[in-house]
Structure 1
Amino acid sequence: MVSRNKKLLITLGGIAFCFVAFFALDMVFPFPEHKLHPDTATVVYDRDHKPLRIFLPADEARRMHTNISKVSPVLIRSLLASEDGWYRYHPGINPISVVRAALSNLLAGRVVSGASTIPMQIARMATPEPRTFSAKLKESFRAVQLKLHHSNEELLEIYLNMLPYGGNIEGVAAASHFYFGHDPSTLSLAESALLTTLPRGPAFYDPLRHPQQAKLGRNHVMDQLEERGVFPTAEVARNKEVPLPTAILPVPLKASHFSRMVIERNGLPPEIMTTLNYKLQQTAEARLKEYVSRLRNADIDNAACVIIHIPTREIRALVGSADFFEKGYGGAINLAETKRSPGSTLKPFLYALAMDKGLMVPATFLYDIPVDFSGYSPENYDRTWSGQVEMREALARSLNVPAVKTLARTGVSDFVTLLRKGGLTTLDKKPMEYGLPLVLGGCEVKLTELTNLYASLADNGRYRPFKITPSADNISSQLFSPEVSWITLQMLSKVSRPEMNDTWMLTSDMPETAWKTGTSFGHRDAWAIGISGDYAVGVWVGNPDGRPRKGISGASHAGPLLFDLLRITSPGGKLPPKPDGPGITEIQVCAHSHQLPGPFCTERITIQTLSGKTQLKPCEYCKQIFIDPKSGFRLSGECLDRKKLKKMIIRTLPPQLARWRAENNMEVPLIPPLAPDCDLIPAGNAPKIVSPASSTPYLLRKDTPLKYQQIGLKADAEADSGTLYWFLDGRLVKKGEFNQNLFTEVEAGKHKISVTDSLGRTDSIIFEVLGGK
């Protein structure tokens, strides 16, 4: 009895010792976990889960990670039945298999069976060593470690991602893709049997070099599965007829600019799902490449485009150049993400801002006449002037001076704030550094961000960041009211340019479109952005190296590609409907001034305004005057008590418009002169000095006589101003009509200049002259 108890204690002590020894060794020699998770490739997928690009790890292995939940159950059943039927029950090593393998090896006099379990195979793949007895012991120890520290599902997933499939292909995901062209979730029995066979001898069972051996091995696995009742005979027989793969698919290189952009923004995780519609991407790439081939005949090297789905703000297509792999012409540059001058493409947002501020409406008169902002004198693209135009015409024709004047009214700071709020991340300077040229393209933007800003107009004025990967991100901010957004799109739908043949836009398959073009400073960049249906499409055309091309324009060089893409993207597309509610109101205004009608406005028109926002002034330019019927002189003040008076309604012009028309020999309404005996100064606006300017010092050259450096004298004056008298430091120097070109010599120093009209109304400023002598 004592002896039996002693043996029991020794046995239990031995078992305890083994356990203690194992755990001690486990602590001293932990499993190198990092070897279970080698760097994998990053696979970029389109929205339909089709691979676009596979970015290989540093060792160039085609190693694609997959979760076990995404692997076909057929493959898992095949692997478990063939490799380790007791996988879910043993502690890492299978004692029964070890005994069976030992007997087989002894009888054969050599190693014919290894009894390797799945954990043992993982250990061998993680830390490969020559196949010796001591290596087998270490492998067994490591297998028990793996079982101790990982669940069965975790180990099985590790195993599936480590299996070798020949060459640099590792893991079932990579094997499934490169051998069969699909992910492992849909593997058939024949495919699963081949992927079970290949790791046993990747070179021996290579289906490309040794198809007969590969087929025998594959069919043998299926026979085993049939014998063990894993799969029925009919299914096995059918799958034996499936042909083997005849080629390994190349690493996909689709949507290269977009895929690189995805990596730059998301790093290198195993998988990245994106928003790209590859069918649309292919079409856009083909159209852009063919279009660029024609542009190069005109010394224009490249183009880029982006297509954004407005309801989701997902980028559905992005082409960064005509050919990513082209060595010349900046092929590898993602021109859709490159900072370039936007030309006039920012104008719609300025006018939208002005409308939301209540400063103007589409029918507001603006003035396209020469102007000088402290030395900055913008000009139109065609170097012509149009005089008085409605705001909607100024936008449709992309006139520069009205836009610059509007920016001066709204304020550069507010405009920069708006653009930044709308996602233009490239505006990183202070507003004063941009100044008034900002609205004409005096900054840099990206095509992706600019196109998304236009998408906001079709989304009730709401900005949301564009997406390249699916997300539930609902971050948004209101840029414009829905009413202003709709009005802006309506104005952009009427865009027409004289240098463009409009007939091609009026074809039956042309979707309803709101669009805008832009041409940058120095003739370097041409833009066209359009909205139709659910899509915003942006196009950039130019030379990646910044080389100018005289005559380049957004309308003629970017516009045709824009409309080609719109036909593809949004056939039959429509613009958003007018917002519900009373936000847009129709009112009557003076037909002459487009201001609120006064008592002498005899003609009226109906215009759209924004309820509670639009601020209109009473008409200033339709007036009633009194005339002496005998002399024809105008009467005022105390002269109005005369018995015989003739009433007359006259229509005048804003002073700056009247002066420009007079300088260009155009008709200007004249007011009869005031009767000499009516000496009271009548009401009205005094002349306003335009030149010289008080804010800009004038510089005299030392080597040039003063008579060749005279300063111009100009003033905006009312139609009844008559002769203007100019006084320099209290001394009369010039007199003449408001439309005459007058000049005077001025020496260095600070000076006061005054102007007085025939009615005694006066304006004066202080200005400074530097240099001289």
Structure 2
Amino acid sequence: MRSNIFMSLRIPPKLLQIIKYRSVKVPLFLLGLILILNILFPPKIEVNFSTIITDRNGQILHTFLSKDEKWRMFVTLEEITPVLRKAILAKEDKYFYYHFGVNPVAIIRATVNNVLKKRRTSGASTITMQVVRMLRPNKRTYLNKITEILRAIQLEIFYSKDEILQMYLNLVPYGSNIEGIKSASYLYFQKSPDRLSLAEVTTLAIIPNRPTSLRLGTRNPLITEERNKWLKRFEREKVFDSILINDAIREPLNAFRHEAPKEAPHLSIRLQKNFPTEAIIKASVSKAIQTKVEQMVANYVNRTRAMNINNAAVLVLNNETMQIEAYVGSAGFGDKIDAGQVDGIQAIRSPGSALKPLLYATAFDKGILTPKNIINDVPTNFNGFEPENFDKKFNGKVTVEFALANSLNIPAVKAIRDLGKVELIEKLKKADFQTIRKQEKDLGLSIVLGGCGVTLEEMTQLYASFANEGNWQKANYLFTENPQNSKVELLSSSATYLITEILAQIKRPDLPNNFDYTYRLPKISWKTGTSFGRRDAWSIGYNKKYTVGVWVGNFSGEGVPELSGAEIATPLLFQIFNTIDYNSSSQWFRQPQDVVSRQVCAESGDLPSEYCSNKILDYSIKNISHTHKCSHLKKVYVNLSESMSYCVQCLPSDAYKEKLYANLAPELISFYEQKHILYDKIPAHNPNCTRFFSGSTNAPLITNPNNGSEYYLSENDLQQMQLACQPANDVKEVYWYVNDKLLQKTPANKAIFFTATQGKVKISCTDDKGRSSSISIMVK
């Protein structure tokens, strides 16, 4: 019962032990008085330490001044070595472990000397008393001395001897704004306290008594002389053996003031901002990898500056632990001309084509597409949005894997149109893309081509989910031995495997042309991206162990003609992988059980029909991928000379035959016509047939103008507007109507022009089979 009462009063363990096992020599009233005083006047240990950022192995990366502008680095108990402990105690308080905060013998000796000699000849302060004085500096008066003694006793009650020694070593002054032995150790010897030699320890032990006259770097000969005096005294008092003392005396003193560690500046500033009260923050980065990557980025940008490409950022993420192992925010933190202090890891930029793998992976998971499915890469109008490929060229019929490996834009926009932009946006929100959440209402189909804002951190985390079987995890910037990361199922392992295999192909246009990089091509999957106006170059790659994100460009947003993900960002990506994980090709991703091979038609990528003769193997996801039958050919009845076609209603009794014709989409026919590419055209329909082809199937697709758009024309100079459509393969002529009045009859795939009137305008197009489509525009 008594113990519970004491615990509720938060009695220090030492005082609790005295009360429980009180001897007759300690009156109860005195214990009660001490207890009351401890409750009323508890010791206040309020010290502002410098923030120290270390790497995963405890090596200091970066330090910051404390709030009171001091270099006061926190020294841990593990850094107090036996040599350091013995030297400090022999110098300052040899009876430290035997007294209760006050040394009565020293006080009596000092008092007698001060009275007889009428001046201060020797001190009586113990290490504990010095800690009290450093915590609360006051003038040296007898009253303050008594207070100091009482506080020292109190400190001994509340804290262990090791903790008090630790406080002393954290607060001891070394002149200027340097406090604590760890600060002095790093700023003068560039090493941690546990690596100091006996000579260095002794040097740091004698300076606090005379920090002004014994200033390291300017008074080193005098310091050496004083140091050797104390070393000889240590020998006489047998603190250390003679061999160790002689080695220490011969050791030269080359100490001078160094700059505080300032590595990984962008990450360090970020961690200090996120954890402002922590004295030591252990980052997840590896100092060795961080230094290598920083140097590679700096050297690389030094070469690209000749092209006016002045900055880069790199993030190296360990896929197994999801811990960051290198964080390079810019090519040079101190570069004021090119905004080196901007953190490129967190900067919001346009991703270019770098989001396409997520789009196609989502389409795989929805069963809409498989790698060998055919998409038409031809000029297409998406309600006013007319994307172009990076090289301004079009490829006609291409497979999905070709479209992704070659980063084609039109197939990607078609894929997001069929998938629905909401699906992609939800995936990005699930992957914690913060800017996407804010821009959600304003995003259109162009999101997959870079029409949104992302950060390198978000992109690297996204690609790491491809390496982790579709499971998204947030990257860790703090080191933990056994990280337990919460996972979000972003994609299936089957879809990510298909994407990984496509992105691992090396026969692609975004492989750098430089032989130096292709000669040592790392075994990775990677994707590039170049934003509109060539303002941002991306290259993000991954293997089993690492995901590396690279951004290259100018923080000013200035575009550069030579800037591209393939030629500028990818070489740096390859260089980093070859440095940090050169022999990674021995491990690769395993094919999931749900990924199976099946035969498909090479002309469409769909399951073969009775007309398919060219069959190839394609990957699919079991019970997920579509089972569309191929329809790339259709049967048409024609006369024997193949100059006329028939429908079932007008089919003659004889003199006809069946022939297979390519079932081409109107957009592909239009492309073939524009490029003068030969294709097998369906003959004109029997002119004597009276059948009317009704319905919207295969009706002409009006591609210009854009349905629902507003057009502004000058009153003084009314420009003519173009009318264009994409008819079916069997169409020879089309009829254009404006506000239900016939405008003109034209050959199929030929554009015409007309002068529009103000107001709402209805435009219709009817083919020679009677199939019709209409749109409306507003002319102002």
Q: TM (normalized to structure 2)?
A: 0.88
2:761 aligned with 1:725, yes or no? Answer: no
**Distance of aligned partners of 1:299 and 1:87 in 2 relative to their CA distance in 1, 3 Å threshold:** closer
Match of 2:454 in 1: 445
1:538 is aligned to 2:549 = yes
SS in 2 for 1:470: coil
2:726 matches 1:712: no
Find the partner of 1:408 among 393, 403, 417: 417
Alignment of 1:336-415 (within 5 A): 336-415=345-424
The answer on whether the counterparts of 1:713 and 1:744 sit within 8 Å (CA) in structure 2 is no
**Amino acid aligned to 1:735:** K
Query: What does residue range 235-246 of structure 1 map to in structure 2 within 5 Å?
Result: 235-246=244-255
Q: Which residue of 2 aligns with 1:653?
A: 664
| SS state at 2:437 partner | coil
Please tell me whether residue 277 in structure 1 is matched to residue 289 in structure 2: no
Q: Does 1:75 align with 2:84?
A: yes
Q: Would the alpha carbon gap of residues 354 and 183 (structure 1) be closer, same or farther in structure 2, given more than 3 Å must change?
A: same
AA aligned opposite 1:341: S
Counterpart CA distance in 2 for 1:491 and 1:422 is: 22
Aligned to 2:565: 554
Contact (CA 8 Å) 1:711, 1:746: kept in 2 or not?
no
| 1:453-468 correspondence to structure 2 within 5 Å | 453-468=462-477
What secondary structure does 1:454 align onto? helix
1:306-345 map, 5 Å:
306-345=315-354
The structure 2 residue matched to 1:747, chosen from 734, 757, 773, is 757
1:686 maps to: 698
- Which of 594, 597, 622 aligns to 2:608? It is 597
1:647 partner letter: E
Q: Secondary structure at the match of 1:164?
A: coil
Which sections of structure 1, spanning at least 5 residues, go unmatched?
A: 1-11
Counterpart pick for 1:669 among 664, 670, 680:
680
Indicate conservation of the 8 Å contact 2:666/2:701, yes or no: no
Q: Deviations over 1:134-166 (max 9, x none)?
A: 443332233233334444343332222111233
In structure 2, what is the equivalent of residue 764 of structure 1? 773
Q: TM-score, normalised by structure 1?
A: 0.89
Distance apart, 1:204 and its partner CA:
4.7
* DSSP 3-state at the match of 1:426: helix
- CA distance in 2 between counterparts of 1:627 and 1:14 reads 121
Give the conservation status (yes or no) of the 8 Å contact 2:374–2:400.
yes
1:105-254 map, 5 Å: 105-206=114-215, 208-211=217-220, 214-215=223-224, 217-219=226-228, 221=230, 231-254=240-263
Q: Deviations over 1:307-340 (max 9, x none)?
A: 2222222222222222211221112222232111
Aligned position for 2:489: 478
Distance 2:321 2:25 in 1: 68
Question: Structure 1 residues 680, 348: closer, same or farther in 2, change over 3 A?
Answer: same
Greater alpha carbon shift after TM alignment, 301-310 vs 146-155: 146-155
Deviations 1:551-604 (A, max 9, x none): 432222223222222222221333963434432122112232222222222332
Look up the SS of the partner of 2:529 in the other structure. Answer: strand
Verify the 8 A CA contact 1:101 1:114 in the aligned structure 2: yes
Distance 1:630 1:153 in 2: 105
Residues of 1 paired with 2:223 and 2:598: CA distance? 83
Aligned partner letter, 1:354? A
In the TM superposition, what is the alpha-carbon distance from 1:77 to its structure 2 partner? 3.6
- Output the amino acid matched with 2:105: I
Please tell me the residue identity of whatever aligns with 1:382: D
Separation (CA, whole Å) in 2 of partners of 1:278 and 1:169: 25
1:712, distance to aligned residue in structure 2 (A)? 0.6
Matched, 1:584 2:598: no
1:515 matched residue in structure 2: 526
Q: How far 1:195 moved relative to its partner? A: 3.5
SS at structure 1 position matched to 2:701: strand
Conservation of the 8 A alpha-carbon contact between 1:342 and 1:520: yes
Pair 22,361 (structure 1): closer, same or farther in 2 beyond 3 Å: closer
Change (3 A) 1:226 1:667: same
Partner in structure 1 of residue 265 of structure 2: 256
- Contact persistence 1:176–1:184 (CA under 8 A): yes
CA displacement 1:16-70 (0-9 Å, x = unmatched): 9988887777777x3672xx43311111112232211110124332211123344
Please report the RMSD computed on the Cα atoms of aligned residues, expressed in angstroms.
Answer: 3.2
Deviation at 1:361, TM superposition (A): 1.5
* Paired AA for residue 540 in structure 1: W
Q: Is the 8 A contact 1:497 1:555 kept in 2?
A: no
- Structure 2, unaligned stretches of length 5 or more? 1-23
**Is contact 1:509-1:571 (8 Å) kept?**
no
Counterparts of 1:34-45 in structure 2 under 5 Å?
36-45=45-54
Q: Answer whether contact 1:584 1:610 (CA < 8 A) is retained.
A: yes
Q: Distance in 2 between matches of 1:313 and 1:331?
A: 27
- Counterpart CA distance in 2 for 1:286 and 1:388 is 45
Q: Is the 8 A contact 2:722 2:751 kept in 1?
A: no
Point out the more displaced range, 678-687 or 541-550.
678-687
Aligned-residue offset at 1:433: 0.3
Residue 570 (structure 1) aligned with residue 581 (structure 2): yes
2: CA distance, partners of 1:273 / 1:16: 47
Equivalent of 1:699 in 687, 703, 711? 711
Task: Report the Cα distance in structure 2 between the residues aligned to 1:23 and 1:610, rounded to whole angstroms.
Answer: 74
Aligned to 1:9: none
What is the alpha-carbon distance in structure 2 between the residues aligned to residue 519 and residue 582 of structure 1? 35
Contact 1:207 1:244 in 2 (8 A): no
Following the alignment from structure 1 to structure 2, what is the Cα–Cα distance between the partners of residues 690 and 631? 29
Residue identity opposite 1:384 in structure 2: K
CA apart distance, 1:729: 4.5
Contact map agreement 1:164 1:202 (CA 8 A) in 2: yes
Cα pair distance change 1:636/1:23, threshold 3 Å = closer
Alpha-carbon spacing, 1:104–1:492, altered in 2? closer, same or farther (3 Å): same
8 A contact 2:642–2:683 mirrored in 1: no
8 Å contact 2:53–2:60 — kept in the other structure?
A: yes
Letter in 1 for 2:774: I
Count of aligned residue pairs for this structure pair: 754
With over 3 angstroms needed to count, the CA separation of the structure-2 counterparts of 1:14 and 1:146, relative to structure 1, is: closer
Alpha-carbon offset, residue 101 of structure 1: 3.0
Contact 2:669 2:726 in 1 (8 A): no
User: Residues 245 and 32 from structure 1, CA distance in 2 versus in 1: closer, same or farther, beyond 3 angstroms?
Assistant: farther
Measured against aligned partners, the alpha-carbon deviations of 1:234-293 in whole angstroms (never above 9, x if no partner) come to 544554444445324321222222322322333252111112222333332333223222
Closer, same or farther: CA 183–89 of 1 in aligned 2, 3 Å = same
SS at match of 1:260: helix
CA distance in 1, matches of 2:290, 2:91: 43
Letter in 2 for 1:297: A
Aligned position for 1:424: 433
Question: Whole-Å Cα distance in 2 between the matches of residues 354 and 223 of structure 1?
Answer: 79
Point out the more displaced range, 635-644 or 363-372.
Answer: 635-644
Q: Is the 8 A contact 1:160 1:172 kept in 2?
A: yes
**1:469 alignment counterpart:** 478
Task: Identify if the C-alpha distance between structure 1 residues 151 and 350 changes in structure 2 by more than 3 Å, giving closer, same or farther.
Answer: same
Label 1:616 to 1:688 Cα distance change in 2 as closer, same or farther (>3 A): farther
Q: Report the more deviating stretch, 178-187 or 597-606.
A: 178-187
The change in CA–CA distance for 1:25 and 1:739 in structure 2 (over 3 A counts) is: closer
Question: Do 1:44 and 1:271's aligned partners in 2 also have CA atoms closer than 8 Å?
Answer: yes
- Structure-2 separation of matches of 1:572 and 1:466: 24
SS at match of 2:684: coil
Alpha-carbon separation, structure 2, partners of 1:743 and 1:507: 51
Give the direction of change, closer, same or farther, for the CA distance of 1:337–1:465 in structure 2 (3 Å limit): same
